[in-house]
A and B are shown apart, each in its own frame.
Chain A
């Protein structure tokens, strides 16, 4: 039982990290119908800049903050240089964002060197609490808390604020929202920057939990995020959270009990979901490419 709970906590923590990348991706996908394969690159850049600034300034929180700033800046550049010329063309989006993903990955090696880099954890987040036989690793609890808070913030903003309404309406019908006086391009840029910032934050939070970072991590987590977006239903934040938790848990459990399956379990979930609910777990109805 203790083992089960420990694994579950690990799974949830992993799920929360995936959620942070996937939440940005699902909005970009849902609102702009953009297939952004460079999104994982933002995650890796977030991880590197988080560690770099943490070590440089000796302040974990400043590291996180500057990782977010890096995400916003890179997101802005990505939207402007890479994505803007290919709105509406999925094939070109895949090609150019995949290419940019490679550029982002190689640039990491140029700037920070090709080797694996150690990622420290601040002292007060090290170690664990013991509750009976259950070990709760502090940093994992921290990740879960941050993930939950961000989910609640994102969900409330989307649900209740005017900007959130505009984004949700834009996901459903891009043309109509413009005919109602909304500058959708401006909204695109903002969502792109926020989505990128979330990915970078995910990376910065991931680094200490894994203890080491490497340039290719962006690719790996980027694929995870894409699968999660598809499972959750594009454009849906609750869908992304649920799917990310599902994938996080499934990975943690299979990695422990049937390691040989851990590579394919995510794909299997996607397959099953797509067979029974091709629109994903949460369907944002009226999604169109208009």
Chain B
């Protein structure tokens, strides 16, 4: 078996307009793991995910996915290579129904996609219940579930999820955690999360970003014991 990582950001620099947001970020994701991307507000976590999916392509450095350089290809091609994206604002199409949101996301109409659709609906029964309801009328938690299901309905090798617990009540957060635990069994995940409880439950490895720099990486249990790291970069403790 090759030891090649599934995703590898090599000294990635990203500018938004004239602002230099990511600076030489290194970030490696191994197949089958859930890698956390942590850091304060404004650290560059969202920008990192947007750089991977191609919405803010790097100005310098490389993004390698499955051994292929994807830094210069458009987002739709990156998505087709097997990267699913659940953005911070969920990206729900408000006027489209839940069903239409799912349908518009389905890249193929084969049996495998149909199977994944069914299992997403088992995972999130609310989506089935509100199948004909416009996406804009869902609750925050339901929008999050729709966004995850929409990314998961395609054959993905990697799922990028940006702060899924944001603004959700603890009961709903619990549901989202359970869902991601199941999804984790099928696909590699990069999870941005400020909720440390959720991070601890789900994460295998972690990276910490600060001011656009990758400042730390390690296994989740190491982070949990490292009070200084938590205090300095995550504002916990």
Residue numbers of A with Cβ under 8 A of B are 162, 165-166, 168-169, 172-173, 175-185, 284-286
What is the CB-to-nearest-CB distance from A233 to chain B, in angstroms, rounded to a whole number? 11
CB distance from A239 to the nearest CB of B (A): 12
**Complex CA–CA separation, A166 to B106 (angstroms):** 11
Of B55, B80, B104, the contact of A175 (CB 8 Å cutoff): B55
A residues in contact with B100, CB < 8 Å:
165
Contacts of B87 in A (CB 8 A): 175-176, 179
- C-alpha gap A178/B74 in the complex (Å): 8
Q: Are A172 and B55 in contact (CB under 8 A)?
A: no
Q: Which 8 A-B pairs have the closest CB atoms?
A: A176-B91, A181-B79, A286-B94, A178-B75, A179-B85, A165-B104, A169-B93, A180-B105
Q: In the complex, which residues of chain B have a beta carbon less than 8 angstroms from the beta carbon of A284?
A: 95
B104 touching A166, Cβ below 8 Å: yes
Chain B stretch 33-81: residues in CB contact (< 8 A) with chain A: 53-55, 74-77, 79-80
Complex Cα distance, B103 from A168, in Å, reads 13
Tell whether, in the assembled complex, residue A168 and residue B96 are in contact, meaning their CB atoms are under 8 Å apart. Answer: yes
**In the complex, B112 has a CB within 8 A of chain A:** no
Taken together as a complex, chains A and B put the C-alpha atoms of A256 and B91 apart, in Å, by 49
Which chain A positions have C-beta within 8 A of B91?
173, 175-176, 179
In the complex the two chains form, is A178's CB within 8 Å of B55's CB?
yes
Interchain CB contact (< 8 A) of B53 among A179, A183, A184, A285: A179
Residues of A within 8 A of B151 (CB): 180
A183 to B74, CA, bound (A): 8
CB distance from A15 to the nearest CB of B (A): 25
Instruction: State whether the Cβ of B142 lies closer than 8 Å to any Cβ in chain A.
Output: no
Apart from A179-B53, A183-B77, A185-B74, what are 18 other A-B pairs with CB-CB below 8 Å?
A165-B100, A166-B104, A169-B93, A169-B104, A172-B96, A173-B91, A176-B87, A176-B91, A177-B104, A178-B54, A178-B75, A179-B87, A180-B104, A180-B105, A181-B80, A181-B105, A181-B154, A183-B76
B93 and A173 within 8 A (CB):
yes
How far, in whole Å, are A177 and B154 apart by their CA atoms in the complex?
A: 14
- Do the beta carbons of A286 and B55 come within 8 Å of each other? no
B215 interfacial by beta-carbon distance below 8 Å:
no
- Taking a contact as CB atoms under 8 Å apart, the answer to whether A179 and B96 are in contact is no
Interchain CA distance A177-B85 in the complex, whole Å: 11
- B218 at the A/B interface (Cβ < 8 Å)? no
Contact of A285 with B136 at beta-carbon distance under 8 Å, contacts A180-B79, A180-B105 already known: yes
CA distance A286 to B54 in the complex (A): 22
- Is B107 among interface residues, defined by CB-CB distance under 8 A? yes
Q: Are B79 and A178 in contact (CB under 8 A)?
A: yes
- Inter-subunit contact B93/A179 (CB<8 Å): no
Give the shortest distance, in Å, between B99 (CB) and chain A (any CB). 10
Give every chain A residue within 8 A of B205 (Cβ-Cβ).
none
**Chain A contacts for B79, CB-based, 8 A:** 178-181
Residue of B nearest to A284 (CB): B95
Whether B85 lies near A172 (C-beta < 8 A) is no
Cα of A58 to Cα of B54 in the assembled complex, Å: 53
Contact A165–B154 (Cβ < 8 Å): no
A contact residues around B105 at 8 Å (CB): 180-181
| B77, B94, B136, B150: the one within 8 Å of A180 (CB) | B150
Name which of A176, A179, A182, A185 has the most chain B CB atoms within 10 A of its CB. A179
29 contacts between A and B (CB under 8 A): A162-B104, A165-B96, A165-B104, A168-B95, A169-B104, A172-B96, A175-B55, A175-B91, A176-B87, A178-B55, A178-B79, A179-B53, A179-B55, A179-B75, A179-B79, A179-B91, A180-B76, A180-B104, A180-B107, A180-B150, A180-B151, A180-B154, A181-B79, A181-B105, A181-B154, A182-B76, A183-B74, A184-B76, A284-B95
Contact between B75 and A172 (Cβ–Cβ < 8 Å)? no
Q: Judging by beta carbons under 8 Å apart, are B96 and A169 in contact?
A: yes
**Alpha-carbon distance between A172 and B80 when the two chains are bound, in angstroms:** 21
Q: Closest Cβ of chain A: how far from B98's Cβ, in Å?
A: 13
Q: State in angstroms the CA–CA spacing of A187 and B85 once bound together.
A: 21
Indicate if the CB atoms of A172 and B104 lie closer than 8 Å: no
With A178-B79, A179-B53 as contacts: A285 and B94 at CB distance below 8 Å: yes
